[in-house]
C-alpha cells in the first residue's frame, strides 16, 4: 500500500497517525465546498428571478388579486401609516427601504468598505384599481443605486453619523481616508413608482391597514424593484451567472481537496492497522 510513512509516527513501537499534514487539506476542502454550494444556491435563485422578471405578465393590482399565480404589478409606494417611513442615511430621503455602502479606494487587497447597511419596512403599493400591502425580505429588494464621489470632509458634513456605524478612523486625518470616498445608496422612496413580482393573497394579515391583498415572500419568491424590469432582469441574470460559475469552481476545488485528503487519511488508517 502506497502511503507516506512520514505521516505515521511510531514512538516506542506504537504507530500513531500524524494527521496534521492531512487536516488542513480537509478543512480547506470543506470551506471551499461550503462557499461553492452557497454561491450556487444564490446563483440559482438569481437566475429564477431573472426568468420571472422576463416572463411574468404585468397586470393591474385588481387583476393580480384575482390571479392564482405569480404576477408583476406596478404602482406608487406609500407607507402603511404616515409615521412608518424611514430616512436614508446619505441623501436623507423619506423612504420605505434603503441600501447603502460607503467605501474608499486603497492600494492592495484589503477591504475598502467603511460602512454598509440595509433597512426596509412593509409598504403599500397602489395603482388606482386596488392597494396591496407588501412585506418584503432583504433578498426581495433590487434597488436602483446612485454613486457619488466625495472627500472625507464632505462625507462627515453630509451623512447623519447617528444612523451609521462609521469606522472611528473616518473621523481622523488618516492618510488612507484623505483620498476620495464613494457613497453608494439605493432607496425606495415614498411616492415613487415600483414594480413587484409575487403572488397576491387575500388572507388577513396584521397591519394590512385597509389594503385589498398582501404580497409576502411566503407566497413565492418576492421581487421588489424601482428600476426598469428589463434592467433589473439583466443585472440579476448577470449576477446569477457569475455566482453559478463561482460556485461550480469553488465546489469542484473543494470536493477535489476533500476526496484527495480523505483518501490519504483512509490509507493512513489502513497502513497503521498493518503495522
pLDDT of residue 164: 65
Q: What is the mean pLDDT of residues 160-187?
A: 64
Task: Reply yes or no on whether the pLDDT at 149 is more than 50.
Answer: yes
- Report pLDDT for 5: 46
Give the pLDDT of residue 142: 86
| Residue 116 bridge partners (DSSP) | 101
pLDDT over 90 (residue 257):
no
Q: What percent of the chain has pLDDT over 70?
A: 67
Contacts of 260 by beta carbon, 8 Å cutoff, 6+ apart: 25, 29
Rounded CA-CA distance 212/96 in Å is 19
Q: Tell me the per-residue pLDDT of 103-133, one tens digit each, with 9 for 90 and over.
A: 875 544 456 778 888 999 999 999 989 999 9
pLDDT band at 166 (very low <50, low <70, confident <90, very high): low
Please give the mean pLDDT across all residues of the chain.
76
Q: Please tell me the least confidently modeled range out of 115-124, 157-166, 179-188, 199-208.
A: 157-166
Judge whether residue 236 has pLDDT over 70: no
- The dihedral over CA atoms of 42, 45, 47, 52, expressed in degrees to the nearest 10, equals -160
Q: Contact, 97 vs 177, CB < 8 A?
A: no
Q: What is the distance between the alpha carbons of residues 186 and 208, in angstroms, rounded to a whole number?
A: 26
More confident residue, 13 or 187: 187
User: Which of 7-16, 62-71, 266-275 is predicted least confidently?
Assistant: 7-16
pLDDT at 101 over 70: yes
Higher pLDDT, 124 or 219: 124
**Highest-confidence segment of 36-45, 66-75, 247-256:** 66-75
Amino acid at each position: 500500500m502506497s502511503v507516506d510513512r512520514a505521516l505515521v509516527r511510531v514512538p516506542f513501537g506504537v504507530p500513531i497517525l500524524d494527521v496534521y499534514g492531512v487536516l488542513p487539506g480537509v478543512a480547506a476542502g470543506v470551506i471551499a465546498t461550503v462557499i461553492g454550494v452557497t454561491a450556487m444556491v444564490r446563483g440559482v435563485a438569481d437566475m429564477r428571478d431573472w426568468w420571472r422578471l422576463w416572463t411574468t405578465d404585468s397586470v393591474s393590482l385588481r387583476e393580480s388579486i384575482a390571479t392564482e399565480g405569480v404576477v408583476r404589478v406596478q404602482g406608487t409606494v406609500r407607507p402603511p401609516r404616515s409615521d412608518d417611513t424611514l430616512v436614508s442615511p446619505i441623501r436623507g430621503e423619506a423612504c420605505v427601504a434603503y441600501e447603502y455602502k460607503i467605501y474608499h479606494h486603497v492600494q492592495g487587497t484589503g477591504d475598502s468598505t467603511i460602512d454598509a447597511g440595509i433597512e426596509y419596512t412593509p409598504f403599500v403599493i397602489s395603482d388606482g384599481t386596488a392597494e396591496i400591502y407588501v412585506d418584503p425580505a432583504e433578498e426581495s429588494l433590487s434597488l436602483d443605486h446612485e454613486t457619488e464621489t466625495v472627500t472625507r470632509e464632505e462625507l462627515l458634513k453630509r451623512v447623519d453619523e447617528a444612523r451609521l456605524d462609521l469606522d472611528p478612523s473616518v473621523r481622523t486625518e488618516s492618510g488612507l481616508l484623505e483620498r476620495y470616498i464613494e457613497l453608494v445608496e439605493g432607496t425606495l422612496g415614498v411616492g415613487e413608482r415600483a414594480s413587484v413580482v409575487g403572488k397576491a393573497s387575500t388572507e388577513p394579515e396584521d397591519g394590512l391597514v385597509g389594503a385589498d391583498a398582501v404580497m409576502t415572500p411566503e407566497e413565492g419568491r418576492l421581487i421588489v424593484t424601482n428600476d426598469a424590469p428589463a434592467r433589473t432582469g439583466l443585472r440579476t441574470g448577470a449576477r446569477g451567472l457569475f455566482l453559478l460559475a463561482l460556485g461550480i469552481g469553488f465546489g469542484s476545488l473543494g470536493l477535489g481537496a476533500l476526496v484527495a485528503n480523505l483518501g490519504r487519511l483512509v490509507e493512513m488508517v489502513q497502513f497503521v492497522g498493518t503495522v
